[in-house]
Amino acid sequence: MVFYFFRICKMSIIIPKQILQEEINECGLACIAMLAESHGKKISMEELRELYPVMKNGSTLYDLMVIAEKFGLNCVPVKFHPGEIEELSLPAIIHYDDNHFVYLAYKKGKYVCVMNPAIGMQILHYRSLMEHISGYALIVDEVEPHKEKQKYKHNIFDYMSFLNTKGTSKIKGIYTLLSLTLIISLTGFIMPLMVNKAMNNVFGDEHSKEFPYLLYFLSFLLAALFGMVVKIYNEKIVKKFIKKESLLAFQNMMSHPVRFYERRTVGHMFSRFSAWVDSLSQKIYLDNILRGEWIICTISLALMIYISPLLTAISCIAVTVMGIISTLSLQKDKYYTQEIQNKQSDYNDFLMETLQGIKTVKSTGIGRQRLLKFSELSHELYSVIQKQNIWEETKSSLYRMTGTLETLLFVFVSLPLLYEKSISFGEFFSYSFIKVIFSTCVTNIFQAVIGKYKVNLIEERARTIIRHNPVRKNNEYNSGPVKNGELTLRDICFSYNGTNNIINCMNLIFTPGSHSVLIGPSGVGKSTLSKIVAGTITPTSGDILFNNQKVDESFLNEFVYYQSPDDIIFKASVIDNVSLFDMAQTDERKEEVRFILSELHLLDVIEKMPGGIYSLINHNNTSLSSGQLQRLLIARALYSNRQLVVLDEPTANLDDEMAMITIKAIKKICMRKGKTLLVISHSEKIIREFNNIIKL
């Protein structure tokens, strides 16, 4: 890895920072960002996502060429035979596997650096690369050399930035813990001191029968007790740190807009978030090693040099070899860390999908297919884990072999010194103990470097998820609590891919207390318009006004209740599900819940449950039918204090009779509470219940 760092620094081409894709099908954008950086242009993924929303089926090579040209990169597509990959001009973006893009940074002999947005950087032989490529690539047609290249050139310090310990430096009590840990480490020198005194007492010229064994025993006992106290204190700090950071990260994760989640799979988000939380417990430990272990290492080294510079040189050579092994292993460790995270994400995603769709799996009889797919994913995951374990054992064997050779060389050199009385018996045994302390400290530092590298990789992959998404305030309405009023959509346009508008110059007015129905063929944009009204997605252009004042998503989130087909029943009581965990459940509000449930023909069913409205339910509750669960979700919308209620296909799972009962109950309750209502429906009978019909 050392030669890799210096090789990068000496190369004329800029090696961009590895960018990992966070969203589905954004590998092309990640490659564009890396290609731009290699040509002296800094483009962030946030900027690219904002300007070029990823299409559901991903980007084509032509799309990438158009995007690159917008940033001043004159790219040309090339077609080549996979066997001609060695002749391809680099850097380049190539089509990889079925529907994926990777960035080729540079080549060295028969090997090429592949920067894969899905799994990270790899050094692959051309033969391995040929198995995955289709023969299409995008290269930059450079008319003149770029003058800005040196400005963004990476150096070795950029690549070692993962060793930064600022992340834990502001934790309350961290330096107290560091000081206590150092004291514990210093007690390790009691043993070599005792051995030195004891050996010199027995074999030295000044023989004494009295030796303070009791004093040393008490010292060891106190050190052990003190170590237990420090461990308890350490766990207390770690607990507070994990609790605080994970809570903040969870809050930040929920601050993202709905489209953020639509572009990511649940399994991938879960894997990255949980891996990041697990890494928090290591962060304090690793940072404190990097902060304080070198002090013990320096003291040990000084004592070793004082006893025998020759023996110290042997230990330093062994430590240097171990350091080289650790440094060279970083790339391999990085690869396995990223690969396991990706395989774990696919594994979790498939498992969650199967559990969520278990009724479909059972009813369609595709259990065998799911089993085969699960077997395939399990094989891929545990094959990588097996390879990582073998690699870790290989590293450990190299460390052990280095340590064994050091011990043999130490014995070979030290025995003549002992025979010639160049060192005393006490110094010989003391040196042996101090050498163990020194080796342990150095090994801890090397392991901490590798650990920090892995933690940094995990943090990078989770950064987009756990990063705070500030809500951009663009409200002119600042009149305190939101009351009902006129909501206006003016010249609203929306596009998912930045080019074709699903909604084009839409103008709508929702007057207070009005009841409207939104109709139109499937795919025309009814649900999209509902999401814009609710503030869950932002229109491409146009304004939303409340009482003639501009408002943004933050206002709409307080004013509109949007019930989508994706809403779920939480694992909680019926009343908590309807009131959404309203803390002020007064008798009046409980009666309001009962009234709404009664109007929706649910109260009798729920009262027959063991706990009535306090019965514990969840989305898979077998005591309620799908139609009853849907009406329970409608009850939640009607109970809310939002002034505009948007219901997306509220009667989809109901028969005609119950659908009419439900829609009349919805209108009655909205009229009683003065709410504005917007319903999306395909039912002719439901449509006839509304005077205000909006057609798309």
Q: Check residue 151 and give its pLDDT.
A: 43
Parallel, antiparallel, or unpaired for β 692-695 and 644-648?
Answer: unpaired
- Please report where in the chains the tokens 């849907």 appear, as a residue: 630
pLDDT single digits (tens) 350-368: 888 888 888 788 878 888 8
Instruction: Provide the CA 24 distance to its chain's centre, in angstroms.
Output: 14
Q: What angle do the packed helices 425-466 and 367-419 form, to 10 degrees? A: 150
pLDDT at position 548 over 80 = yes
166-466 CATH: 1.20.1560.10
Label residue 149 by pLDDT band (50, 70, 90): very low
> pLDDT class for 169, splitting at 50, 70, 90?
confident
Contacts by 410-413, CB closer than 8 A, 24 or more apart = 410/311, 410/314, 410/315, 410/435, 413/310, 413/311, 413/314
Are β-strands 560-563 and 549-550 bridged in parallel, bridged antiparallel, or unpaired? unpaired
638, pLDDT greater than 80: yes
Describe the chain by its helix, strand, coil percentages, rounded to 5. Answer: 60, 15, 30
Coil vs helix vs strand at 113: strand
Q: Give the C-alpha distances (Å, rounded to integers) separating 627 from 580, 601, 640, 659.
A: 20, 11, 20, 10
Average pLDDT on 457-476 reads 70
| pLDDT at position 331 | 77
Domain ranges for the chain, please list them: 2-159, 166-466, 487-695
pLDDT band at 5 (very low <50, low <70, confident <90, very high): very low
Contacts of 80 (CB under 8 A, 6+ apart): 87, 88, 135, 137
| Residue of 93, 105, 106 lying closest to 134 (CA atoms) | 93
Q: Which amino acid is at 40?
A: G
Residue 624, SS3?
coil
577 phi and psi, to 5 degrees?
Answer: -70, -40
Q: Residue 77 phi/psi, 5° resolution? A: -80, 145
DSSP, collapsed to helix, strand or coil, labels residue 39 as coil
Alpha carbon distance 8, 115 (integer Å):
14
As a whole number, mean pLDDT of residues 626-651 equals 91
The pair of structure tokens assigned to 369 is 């297919």
Q: Tell me the pLDDT band of 672, cut-offs 50, 70 and 90.
A: very high
Q: How many CB atoms lie within 10 A of CB 279?
A: 19
Picking from 671, 356, 321, 666, the residue whose alpha carbon sits closest to that of residue 514 is: 671
Nearest Cα to Cα of residue 346 among 271, 277, 253, 278: 271
> Is a pLDDT exceeding 90 seen at residue 596?
yes
pLDDT number for residue 411: 86
H/E stretch holding 115 reads strand 111-116
Amino acid at 86: E
Model pLDDT, residue 597: 93
- For position 564, what pLDDT does the model report? 87
- Of the candidates 650, 646, 652, which has an alpha carbon nearest to the alpha carbon of residue 528? 646
Give the pLDDT of residue 497: 64
Q: Are domains 2-159 and 487-695 of this chain identical in fold?
A: no
> Which two structure tokens, joined as six digits, stand for 488?
């206006």
Distance CA 180, CA 193 (A): 21
| CATH architecture, domain defined by 487-695 | 3-Layer(aba) Sandwich (3.40)
- For 312, the token pair is 């110290």
What is the model's pLDDT at position 598?
93
Structure tokens that stand for 618 in this block: 């969840």
694 in Cβ contact with 529 (< 8 Å): no
Separation CA 18–CA 107 (nearest Å):
16
Could you give the residue ranges of the DSSP H alpha helices within 640-677?
656-673
Secondary structure of 127-149 as H, E, C letters: HHHHCCEEEEEEEECCCCCCCCH
pLDDT of residue 475: 52
Strand 644-648 relative to strand 560-563, pairing = parallel
Cis peptide before 91 (omega within 30 of 0): yes
For 615-654, give one letter per residue: b (16+ CB within 10 A) or e. bebeeebeebeebbbbbbbbbbbbbbebbbbbbbbbbebb
Contacts of 411 (CB under 8 A, 6+ apart): none
Q: What is the fold, at CATH topology level, of the domain defined by 2-159?
A: Cathepsin B; Chain A (3.90.70)
* E strand or H helix that includes residue 11: none
The per-residue pLDDT for range 45-100, each reduced to its tens digit, is 877 877 776 555 567 788 888 888 888 888 888 887 777 777 788 888 888 876 78
Cβ–Cβ contacts within 10 Å for residue 659, how many? 19
**Does residue 481 register a pLDDT over 60?**
no
Average the pLDDT over 185-210 and give the result: 69
What is the percent of the chain where pLDDT is above 70?
89
Residue 207's pLDDT band (boundaries 50, 70, 90)? low
Query: Hey, what amino acid is at 18?
Result: Q
Average pLDDT over residues 144-150: 42
Pairwise CA distance, residues 301 & 314, whole Å? 12
Residue labelled with tokens 């080729």 = 104
d(CA 239, CA 281): 8
Encoded tokens for 43: 């483009």
Task: Please report the pLDDT score of residue 626 as a whole number.
Answer: 84
Residue 160 confidence class, pLDDT cut points 50, 70, 90: low
Alpha carbon separation from 46 to 50, 60, 124, 264, 379 (Å, rounded): 6, 20, 29, 15, 35
The three-class DSSP label of residue 75 is strand
Structure tokens at 675: 């709410």
Does residue 243 carry a pLDDT above 60?
yes
Report d(CA 184, CA 420) in Å as an integer: 36
Model confidence band, residue 152 (pLDDT cutoffs 50, 70, 90): very low
Of the listed ranges 31-35, 466-470, 610-614, the one predicted with least confidence: 466-470
